[in-house]
Every structure is written in structure tokens, then in C-alpha cells.
Amino acid sequence: MITYHSKAARELLAFYAEAGVDSAVGERANDWLADERANAPAPAEISTSPTSPAVRRASAPVPAAMPAPPPTPDAAVMAARDAARSASSLEELRAILDRFEGCGLKGSASRLVFADGNPQSRLMFVGEAPGAEEDKQGLPFVGRSGQLLNRMLAAIGLDRTQVYIANIVPWRPPGNRTPTPVETQICLPFIQRQIELANPDILVTIGQPSTGALLSIQGIMKNRGRWFAYQTGTREIRAMPILHPAYLLRSPIAKRLAWRDLLAIKKALD
Ligand code: URA
């Protein structure tokens, strides 16, 4: 028999799962507002008459201090641009990004997923956003899509230690939803600076979201495998959109297109 409490608990868990909360971070529930309540100002001295309106107001629960409202999207994009510009190395950029509070995704993700591979590589791949496995490990492309990406690299004689890999958005969106245009715009200055600092010769945008954000190109099917110019900020490099491994897992027939694109990338490196 399902009691009221176990039914409510199941519904709550189902709600959490849909919202992307799929792992516990501790054994015991944490009251995150306890500190704020403890630090809230004490009620003012008031008339001692138990029936006075002031007494009745004062005995009502003291509301917790309100958290600062989030910055407007424009302010967050401006702050991201300034913050990204101030980084003079990839390590600094990572630290700045880790402290950045302008993107709401940071609050729901477990950790920052900055990059993997070799930042000195001539070849850089940029995907969309971390999924559940990437969020757990703090590394991009380590789930099912990442395993296929590894096999794609192996097909042209490369492994992860020979390429540099990052995402447009470095925090996992809840429930793996698509990042909103505002979230993407806020994160864009950071990945642009990351590309500039890594300074690859060839940039590969993985899937439409990355291609749209970095190359301002729509239509991955007609543009994959083509070369585009990308301005890093200090020079022009070559960029190629490829199909996302998540798409290739759903449509294995398209792997032959990906294979063609990988050969073109290999040729450009030689
Ligand atoms: N898909 C992406 O675009 N990036 C990852 O890191 C993982 C899956």
C-alpha cells in the first residue's frame, strides 16, 4: 500500500529527476537558508502590549534575507566579456570561469567542465554542453557521445592526448536540456577566449549549436565538412563543422559523412 508520505516522496523524486537532479551530494539534507536566518537582523524593540499590532507583526516569522537578484542578461554578457578578456592564460580563464556567477547553469551543475586533452594541440574540438557523465567527471565528452568521439579520433590516428576539447557552455543544463540563447550568449565570450588562448590551427565545431554560436552558420547538414574562416582575435584560422556524435549514435548511416569530414581534417593537419 502506498502511504501519503511515500507517494509524495516519489512524486518529489520524479520532479527532481525531470529537473536534472539525478545524484545526491550528501547523506543528510542541508538547510541552505539556515545561515541566512541566523544572520538576519533581530526584530526592532517594540511596545510590550500583547495586543498591539506591532507585537503581532513582530511575533510573525522573520523572513530570511533575500538573495541578490540575478544580473540582467545584458549585464551578465558584459560581465562575461570583461572577465574573459582579463584572462591571460588558460589556467587563469578556468579560475575566472569557476568564480563567475553570471550564468544560472552554474547553480544546478555539480562542477565546471572546462576542457580535456592537450591545450598545445593544433586541433581543437568544441561541442555544445556537458551531459550527466561529463558533469560527474568534470571532463567534456566522456559519456556515450564522447566514446564515439574517441573512436572517430582513432579512425584518423589520433587520441584525446593529441587534441584539445571543450564546449560552448561549461556547465550541464538541468536534465540535459538545450542551453537557452541567453545562457549561450553569456558563455560565448569564455569559449571564444579559450580558443584564442589555445590558439589551434584548426577548429572543429561539433553539431549545430556549437556551429551556430561560433561560426554564425545555420544548417549543419549542408555545412558540415566545409571550411570556414574563424577569427580568433589574434589571427584567422580554418574551421569545420562536423555532425555531433550524439546524432551519429541515433543515425549510424550518417557515419560515412563524418568519416569523410574526418579525412578532410586529417589532410589539413598533414
Ligand atoms: N555533448 C556535448 O556537446 N558535449 C559534451 O561534453 C558531451 C556531450
What radius of gyration, in Å, describes the C-alpha atoms of the chain?
24
d(CA 35, CA 155): 54
Ligand 1: lining residues by beta carbon, under 6 Å = 127-131, 134, 140-141, 143, 145-146, 167
d(CA 98, CA 107): 11
Q: Is 176 exposed, middle or buried (0-12, 13-18, 19+ CB in 10 A)?
A: middle
Cα(115) to centroid of ligand 1, in Å? 11
Q: What is the pLDDT of residue 69?
A: 76
Cα(174) to centroid of ligand 1, in Å? 14
Q: What is the pLDDT of residue 66?
A: 79
Grid coordinates given for 173? 543544463
How remote is the C-alpha of 24 from its chain's centroid? 20
**Long-range contacts for 17-25 (Cβ within 8 Å, ≥24 apart)?**
18/175, 19/108, 19/174, 19/175, 20/108, 20/172, 20/173, 20/174, 20/175, 20/176, 20/177, 21/108, 21/174, 22/132, 23/110, 23/136, 25/110
Q: What is the pLDDT of residue 19?
A: 47
- Give first-to-last CA distance, the chain, whole Å: 67
pTM of the model: 0.77
Q: Which CA distances in Å does 167 have to 126, 183, 206, 258, 260?
A: 5, 13, 9, 19, 23
Please, what's the largest Cα pairwise distance for the chain? 87
Torsion angle of C-alpha atoms 137, 104, 144, 17, degrees rounded to 10: 100
Cα(134) to centroid of ligand 1, in Å? 7
- Each of the 270 residues of the chain gets a pLDDT tens digit; together they read 445 556 666 665 655 555 455 555 444 555 545 554 565 555 444 344 445 444 444 455 656 777 777 789 999 999 999 999 999 999 999 999 999 999 999 999 999 999 999 999 999 999 999 999 999 999 999 999 999 999 999 999 999 999 999 999 999 999 999 999 999 999 999 999 999 999 999 999 999 999 999 999 999 999 999 999 999 999 999 999 999 999 999 999 999 999 999 999 999 999
* 134 CA: nearest ligand 1 atom: 6
All residues at 6 or more sequence positions from 124 whose CB lies less than 8 Å from its CB, including other chains:
163, 164, 165, 166, 195, 198, 200, 202, 203, 204
**Whether 76 contacts 54, CB under 8 Å:** no
Q: What is the pLDDT of residue 2?
A: 46
- Write the single-letter amino acid at 70: P
Q: Which CA distances in Å does 267 have to 8, 53, 259?
A: 58, 81, 12
d(CA 140, CA 185): 19
Pocket test for ligand 1, best of 144, 165, 167 (most atoms within 8 A of CB): 167
* 165 CA: nearest ligand 1 atom: 6
Q: What is the pLDDT of residue 83?
A: 98
Cα(129) to centroid of ligand 1, in Å? 5
Q: What is the pLDDT of residue 40?
A: 57
Q: What is the pLDDT of residue 235?
A: 98
Pocket test for ligand 1, best of 145, 164, 211 (most atoms within 8 A of CB): 145
